[in-house]
Chains A and B, each alone.
Chain A
Amino acid sequence: MSQPILSVENVTMRFGGVTAIDHLSFAVQKGEIYGLIGPNGAGKTTIFNNITGNYIPTEGRIVFDGKEITGTKPNKVVDLGIARTFQNIRLFKSMSVLENVLIGYHNRMHYTYFEAIFRLPRYWGYEKRIKARAMELLEEFGIADLADTEATALSYGNQRKVEIARAVATDPKLLLLDEPAAGMNPSETEDLSIIIHKIKKDFDLTILLIEHDMKFVNNMCDRLTVLDYGENIFVGTPADAIVDEKVITAYLGEFKHA
């Protein structure tokens, strides 16, 4: 196997006396959709926050694209090529859909503060070009007609699309999706999985996703890691996961539900 795009090596995260993640390791290969599943409180979001630099791991290291990124500032991590969405959708509520996506392009617009104030040519150039690109991106998600609508006025499914589009706008190599299908109805979920496959291909992305909905995971992921109380209890394909005894014990009930 080639060098993984992301490898989490022996990461431990403690909050005071509580161990949220316990010596967790896994590696994501370029171009795959990798799932991270586990019951509530298993430390899934915590490991996301470790990767994005929101929390600095107590122990262990995180390597992205051959470079160690443990403890890198969150905005720098984005510049390196990792983008994320949030579990509870967090759009900029005073802004339109287009503006939300334009924030994703913030670091791709290379005009200075003075060029903005004095409206010099570079300001106009970048604004025009990037706005066109943002519209294309919205087209890709099928929500271009909603560009001028206030983002929070959209349906839940469309808000999720805006959030993913905004993350894709930062031009990532690796996209972290935190429970993207949470709170969606079956047709919205279906719609979303099609879009995720499409952007993965069109933007040459690797995707790491946290999920609760087993059916969604089975459809989406090439491989997955199952977490229980911060520990890695299974690595492999979704098909193997559902017959693994340890996984079934940890998940009892949740599988039946799915």
Chain B
Amino acid sequence: MDFTTFLQQMINGFSLGSMYALIAIGYTMVYGVLRLINFAHGDIMMVGAFLVYLAHAAGLSFPAAVLVGVLGAILVGVLTDKVAYKPLREAPKISLLITAIGISFFLENLFNVLFGGVPRAFPAPDYLTQVIHIGKLYLPTTALVIPVVTLLILAGVLWVLYRTKYGMAIRALAFDIPTVKLMGINADGIISLVFALGSALAAVGGIFYAISYPSIDPLMGIIVGLKAFAAAVLGGIGSVTGAVLGGFILGFTEILVVAAFPDLGGYKDAFAFFFLILVLLFRPTGIMGEDLERGRF
């Protein structure tokens, strides 16, 4: 691998890692406040990408379509919590998990019935798909746009989490729901906020994915969702900065390993799984995580 190729791959890795990071944040925040692996999160990302596609097909400009996609994903995410998860807050954990997998399967099959399983070309505007040459580097605009937008969004999310009272409430909720309720914080409102924020980021991640890939299908959220979850565990489940870190590590690993060992290309989708297993075996709290599961007596 010469230096130019290496640089090219690094930029690709950065771009892929951005997507994983955006989606992983939603997993980690929901896990933080509800101790729930939200299986439907990957599908929310799919919904976001599909809504952009549909809005664009209906004649909206691309930026307007993106807005529709993000708002739609927020709506679906928050509704999922209100309708399906909220009634089960006091129920055994397994009921909540089964419901989550039910919602995931529902969204996948609903979109499959409505729009068919055949992948559709995603309508990325020219200014995002152009290839620019910098020296020997050939870069699609997205390879620059995605990381920059991601970093801006992350800065915003971290600002909300660490500098606003809502962010403080979210972090307090991650430690103890009953205490937060005692402190007079509207726990349900904060949980909705978590779902809204997570879903919006997932939608953005989904749109980036759709632009780079560049096609969408109803099952696109499954594998990406699994990988993003693995990234969240790698970074330390419950930790937002951890999720970002985990997303980037996974993105870079996938790109670089395949670049160095082309034979492993077919197994690219399996790396995240092995990461997950290794982290659980040797450092279950991940890179940045705290032990959220310590028994409370």
Q: Which residues of A line the B interface, CB within 8 A?
A: 45, 48-49, 54, 86-87
Contacts and interface: CB of A to CB of B under 8 A. Distances in A.
Nearest to A84: B297
Interface string B275-297: 00000000000000000000101
A139 B295 CA distance: 33
7 contacts: A45-B297, A48-B297, A49-B297, A54-B295, A54-B297, A86-B297, A87-B297
Contacts, number: 7
A54 B295 CA distance: 8
Nearest to B295: A54
B91 to A, nearest CB: 13
A63 B87 CA distance: 47
A86 B297 CA distance: 8
B238 to A, nearest CB: 14
A87 B295 CA distance: 14
Contacts of B297: 45, 48-49, 54, 86-87
A87 B297 CA distance: 8
Q: Return the 4 tightest CB-CB contacts between A and B, nearest first.
A: A45-B297, A49-B297, A54-B295, A86-B297
A184 to B, nearest CB: 20
B279 to A, nearest CB: 22
B5 to A, nearest CB: 46
Contacts of B295: 54
A44 B61 CA distance: 64
A54 B297 CA distance: 9
A74 to B, nearest CB: 9
A48 B297 CA distance: 10
A17 to B, nearest CB: 13
Nearest to B290: A16
B109 to A, nearest CB: 33
A54 B294 CA distance: 9
A237 to B, nearest CB: 29
A48 B295 CA distance: 13
Contacts of A86: 297
Contacts of A45: 297
A247 to B, nearest CB: 25
A86 B295 CA distance: 13
A51 B297 CA distance: 14
A49 B295 CA distance: 10
A45 B295 CA distance: 12
A54 B293 CA distance: 12
Nearest to A86: B297
Interface in B13-46: none
B270 to A, nearest CB: 33
Nearest to B294: A55
A57 B246 CA distance: 31
Contacts of A54: 295, 297
B272 to A, nearest CB: 31
B239 to A, nearest CB: 14
A197 B297 CA distance: 26
A41 to B, nearest CB: 13
B76 to A, nearest CB: 35
Nearest to A54: B295
Contacts of A49: 297
A217 to B, nearest CB: 21
A86 B296 CA distance: 11
Contacts of A87: 297
Nearest to A49: B297
B94 to A, nearest CB: 13
A61 B297 CA distance: 21
B172 to A, nearest CB: 14
